[in-house]
Structure 1
Amino acid sequence: MADVVNATRMELTRLKNQLATTRRGHHLLKDKQDEMMRQFLLQIESYKALRKNVDQAWLQALDTFSYAKSFHFEEELKEKFLVPASSVKLEFGKQSVMSVDVPKVKILETFEPKVTYSFHGTHPALDTVVAKLGKLLPDLIQMAVEDKKNRILIKEIEKTKRRVNAIEHIIIPEIVDDIKVVRMKISDAERSNTVRIMKSKDLIIKKNLQNK
């Protein structure tokens, strides 16, 4: 509880106004937290669906690649894949989710995957791997964007939650306690003043009686 310097009615009014403002701020911040959680849950659902599709396609490509590896030496495979077989043209930006900036990536153009190695001495299964991974590239990019967005939202939700809890469990109770202290001190001062007035009145009455 903060030390109350001025136990006056003006101070009491100030604390009441501060309490009302803090409670409004807490309500707005709690609404923001709830909406961010709602947006995050929707984001997670779309991310899970995308991740499931990517995982399936990725595992299929890995199975095909594992099969193709049995026909080549490891160094030979590294040499064949030195030159990228697929590429995309991207536009980077930001979008706001509940006043939180998250990344936004737009795929402007995709290029068909091309075989950049010699067909001579190469198993056809490698061509299938190149085609599958080339088609998967846009989804991999989108998944990376969604993953980064999730991490940012989680961090912001946690930060907002800490602020909501601090206001609810620390700041508001401190203001309430300060109001109680000021009220108690004002009541004590009023009682003391009433006693002084009553004593003064008694003295005046006694003095008047003695002068008669």
Structure 2
Amino acid sequence: MSGKERIIVFPSRMALTQMKMRLKGAEKGHSLLKKKSDALTLRFRQILAKIIETKQLMGDAMKQAGISLAEAKFAAGDFSHTIVHNVDKAQSKVRNKRDNVAGVTLPLFEHYADGADTYELTGLSRGGQQVQKCKEIFGKAIKLLVDLASLQTSFVTLDEVIKITNRRVNAIEHVIIPRIQRTIDYIVTELDEREREEFFRLKKIQEKKEIQRERDAKAKAAWGISQGDADETDCKEIFDTSQDEDLLFH
């Protein structure tokens, strides 16, 4: 196993605990990012459906607006110059709002009317009804345009965020978590190997001690010394003729 496939750590109990904590954090982060991605994808699909619907409405509105403009010009004549001279301030305005979806801020545009109608007297002499109808239809078309712009902006923003989130989810799922898992497996394998080596070492020590005991027993037997009084015999003086009491082992 190369260093690129796992994290370079010294195999120890502390390192194993740290890797398990990192694995738990990575799994939790993956779960949260996955939920975020699902929520953003759901909103993305809803916005896409609204964009399709709004574009269809927009096509019909612009078609009606073109027809109503032709009817108004036919009834009232060319009133565009009159409107341009009378209008000094826009009545239709757009305000910017914010919407939050799973921690992602989406820009929203809202259409509203501000100020008096500067061309309300246009077509008063003739064709006033057609001009008013044309104004209402174009007002609806402008509102649909603002709604479509808001949806398109949110669509593009969500598309970028979803791509970034999915890349992070895939990186955690296919790179980070497997790397940590391989590191944990490596540490567990090394610790098991150390335990086996320690067990083998202790076993060899016990065998050597047993062999040494057998050698000592044979040497003492050759000198006529029993196993129980070996230590006491070694401590007796040469001219000591006293008899030691028997030792009773319970």
TM-score (norm 2): 0.68
Establish whether residue 16 from structure 1 lines up as the match of residue 20 from structure 2.
yes
Residue 102 of structure 1 and its aligned partner are, at CA, apart by: 1.0
The aligned runs of 1:86-97 (5 Å cut-off) are 87-97=91-101
Query: What corresponds to 2:152 in structure 1?
Result: 147
What CA deviation, in whole Å up to 9, does each residue of 1:16-43 have, x standing for no partner?
1211221111111111111111122222
- Relative distance call for 1:172 and 1:59 in structure 2 (3 A) is same
Task: Give the conservation status (yes or no) of the 8 Å contact 1:4–1:182.
Answer: no
Q: Secondary structure at 1:10's aligned position in 2?
A: helix
Residue 87 of structure 1 and its aligned partner are, at CA, apart by: 3.5
Task: Give the conservation status (yes or no) of the 8 Å contact 1:36–1:98.
Answer: yes
Residue 89 of structure 1 and its aligned partner are, at CA, apart by: 2.8
Task: Give the conservation status (yes or no) of the 8 Å contact 2:93–2:112.
Answer: yes
Query: What corresponds to 2:165 in structure 1?
Result: 160
Pick one of 204, 209, 214 that aligns with 1:209: 214
Task: Give the conservation status (yes or no) of the 8 Å contact 1:115–1:130.
Answer: no
Query: What corresponds to 2:31 in structure 1?
Result: 27
- Aligned Cα RMSD in Å? 3.5
Higher relative contact order, chain-length normalized (CA < 8 Å, sep 6+): 1
Give the number of the structure whose residues are more often helix, by fraction. Answer: 1
Q: Secondary structure at 1:2's aligned position in 2?
A: coil
The aligned runs of 1:1-212 (5 Å cut-off) are 1-62=5-66, 87-109=91-113, 114=119, 132-212=137-217
Q: Secondary structure at 1:108's aligned position in 2?
A: strand
Distance across 1 between alignment mates of 2:69 and 2:13: 80
Structure 2: segments with no counterpart, 5+ residues:
73-77, 124-129, 218-250
Query: What corresponds to 2:243 in structure 1?
Result: none
Task: Give the conservation status (yes or no) of the 8 Å contact 1:113–1:131.
Answer: no
- Relative distance call for 1:113 and 1:198 in structure 2 (3 A) is farther
Distance across 2 between alignment mates of 1:186 and 1:198: 18
Residue 4 of structure 1 and its aligned partner are, at CA, apart by: 3.3
Residue 195 of structure 1 and its aligned partner are, at CA, apart by: 1.0
Distance across 1 between alignment mates of 2:118 and 2:142: 10
Q: Which amino acid in structure 2 is aligned with residue 59 of structure 1?
A: K
Most deviating of 162-171 and 7-16: 7-16
- Relative distance call for 1:113 and 1:103 in structure 2 (3 A) is farther
Residue 54 of structure 1 and its aligned partner are, at CA, apart by: 0.7
Count of residues in correspondence between the two structures: 205
Residue 183 of structure 1 and its aligned partner are, at CA, apart by: 0.9
Most deviating of 172-181 and 88-97: 88-97
Q: Which amino acid in structure 2 is aligned with residue 180 of structure 1?
A: D
Distance across 1 between alignment mates of 2:8 and 2:195: 18
TM-score (norm 1): 0.78
Structure 1: segments with no counterpart, 5+ residues:
69-75, 119-124
- Relative distance call for 1:130 and 1:54 in structure 2 (3 A) is same
Residue 52 of structure 1 and its aligned partner are, at CA, apart by: 1.1
